[in-house]
Amino acid sequence: MRLCMISLDAVAQPDADRLLSLPALSALAENGAFCQNVKTVYPTLTYPIHTSLLTGCYPDAHGIGHNQPFQPDTAPNMRAWYWSAQDIRVKTLHQAAQEKGLDVASILWPVSGKNRAVRRNFPEVLPLPGESAVKKMLQYASPLWILRMELLYGKTRKSILQPDLDDYAALLCEKLYASSRPPQVLTVHLVDCDSMRHRYGVESPEAHAAMERLDRRVGRILNAVKRRGLWEDTLFCVVSDHGQQDAPHGVLLDREIKAACGARAQSLGMGAYIFGPDLALALRALQEHREEWGIAHIYNQDELRALHAPEQVRLAVDALPGHCFLDKPEETHGEHGFGLDCPQARTLLWLSGPGIRRGERIERARLVDIAPTLAHALGLSLSQAQGRVLSEAFD
């Protein structure tokens, strides 16, 4: 059996009806299993969540607790991200597939650079100011394959911004399935809706148009599998990571708490981690300035351990509705990084293919259940996974 796993960034339970009205995603739901109540992981950021999607583990186990390592004294636009798969502390689906001798390809998947388990890899890696985009991509990607794709198809891509980059990702998927050696495992991350919601707002016309484009791209990938004659042998898994909320009121929490008590804040968007030598003093500052700083909830250590937050995080906060925590003054629209009680922390899952029940509606699941479910279907071993197999999805 083959696996085609497609991640739709920044759509969630409140978007389910709209997405199920679109042709490709509605057909997948009708012909397989669908769940609109998948509990994502804390923090609700793309990189920790996508690592959980590949491992079935929470951030305290897999080691990716944020999009970026904590770099409080580095300018925001110069901060490194978790680009490399070598930062993940547990086995991934990519590695389990390679161990079984399967051919793995990956397009724009977070935390997948320098991934020895992926034969054809176009990871999500962006250059920082002063860096060469070409040099950085060659450093983290599969260089010979990516150069060949650029020579053949690079001119069709208008830019490396959205929605152009997702269009190119869909094209690469089509070319992979048309190749002499189509991948047995493909993971692809589509970011269009996340970009539009950050830029224009959660229910903006631009965000709604992005959902329609996502559906068309999913359709393009499914049709490429059909054309190659692999439909009956392919398990399709479409997932989402988090939704977004409009948060127009930005608070420079790191600046404020540093001035108040010397602690530092690492923004999650609609939440933040708090670090410092004296967390009791930081807690008092948060409590005293709670309303002024737009704080809805302060997480203590017990709550953070129950959430499987990163081990080094012992104090964190959620923002009030409509508020977010910024590293620099800027206009804000859609944001995430909220707590798991938000409706937008309930994400989506489509499963369709061999052995999957047609028309099945799964009442609830956890995002960490997805990797062990896929491993079970493919006969792979993910012994460290903290989730369970969604047996109700299978015949």
User: Per residue in 246-265, pLDDT tens?
Assistant: 999 999 999 999 999 999 99
Claim to verify: residue 255 and residue 227 sit in the same structural domain: no
In a domain, 209, yes or no: yes
Claim to verify: residue 223 and residue 254 sit in the same structural domain: no
Claim to verify: residue 240 and residue 254 sit in the same structural domain: no
Whether the Cβ atoms of residue 311 and residue 64 lie closer than 8 Å to each other: no
Q: What does each C-alpha distance from 56 to 108, 287, 310, 380 come to in angstroms? A: 19, 35, 15, 13
In a domain, 151, yes or no: yes
Claim to verify: residue 36 and residue 139 sit in the same structural domain: yes
Structure-block tokens of residue 95? 């590695």
Structure-block tokens of residue 115? 């991934």
Residue that finishes a domain, picked among 332, 356, 374: 332
Secondary structure (3-state) at 160? coil
Whether the Cβ atoms of residue 319 and residue 338 lie closer than 8 Å to each other: yes
Claim to verify: residue 38 and residue 138 sit in the same structural domain: yes
Claim to verify: residue 224 and residue 177 sit in the same structural domain: yes
In a domain, 56, yes or no: yes
Claim to verify: residue 177 and residue 278 sit in the same structural domain: no
pLDDT at position 184: 98
Model confidence pTM above 0.85:
yes
Q: Cα separation of 183 and 225, whole Å?
A: 10
Distance of alpha carbon 173 from its chain centroid, rounded? Answer: 18
Residue that finishes a domain, picked among 280, 305, 332: 332
Amino acid at 300: N
In a domain, 78, yes or no: yes
pLDDT at position 254: 98
Residue that finishes a domain, picked among 285, 305, 332: 332
Structure-block tokens of residue 248? 């127009």
The predicted model gives 369-392 an average pLDDT of: 97
In a domain, 110, yes or no: yes
Claim to verify: residue 293 and residue 240 sit in the same structural domain: no
The predicted model gives 74-97 an average pLDDT of: 97
The CATH number of residue 29's host domain is 3.40.720.10
In a domain, 194, yes or no: yes
Element (H, E) at 5: strand 2-8
Q: What's the domain count of the chain?
A: 2
In a domain, 337, yes or no: no
329: cis peptide before it, omega within 30°?
A: no
Q: Cα separation of 387 and 54, whole Å?
A: 11
The whole domain housing 372 covers: 2-246+342-393
**pLDDT tens-digit map of 217-248:** 999 999 999 999 999 999 999 999 999 999 99
The predicted model gives 374-391 an average pLDDT of: 97
pLDDT at position 307: 98
Claim to verify: residue 67 and residue 23 sit in the same structural domain: yes
Sorting pLDDT into bands at 50, 70 and 90, what band is 357?
A: very high
Sorting pLDDT into bands at 50, 70 and 90, what band is 129?
A: very high
Claim to verify: residue 327 and residue 350 sit in the same structural domain: no
Sorting pLDDT into bands at 50, 70 and 90, what band is 376?
A: very high
Torsion of CA 132, 135, 141, 147, to 10 degrees: 110
Claim to verify: residue 358 and residue 379 sit in the same structural domain: yes
Claim to verify: residue 220 and residue 254 sit in the same structural domain: no
In a domain, 322, yes or no: yes
Whether the Cβ atoms of residue 52 and residue 241 lie closer than 8 Å to each other: no
Q: Which of 270, 262, 257 is nearest to 337 (CA)?
A: 270
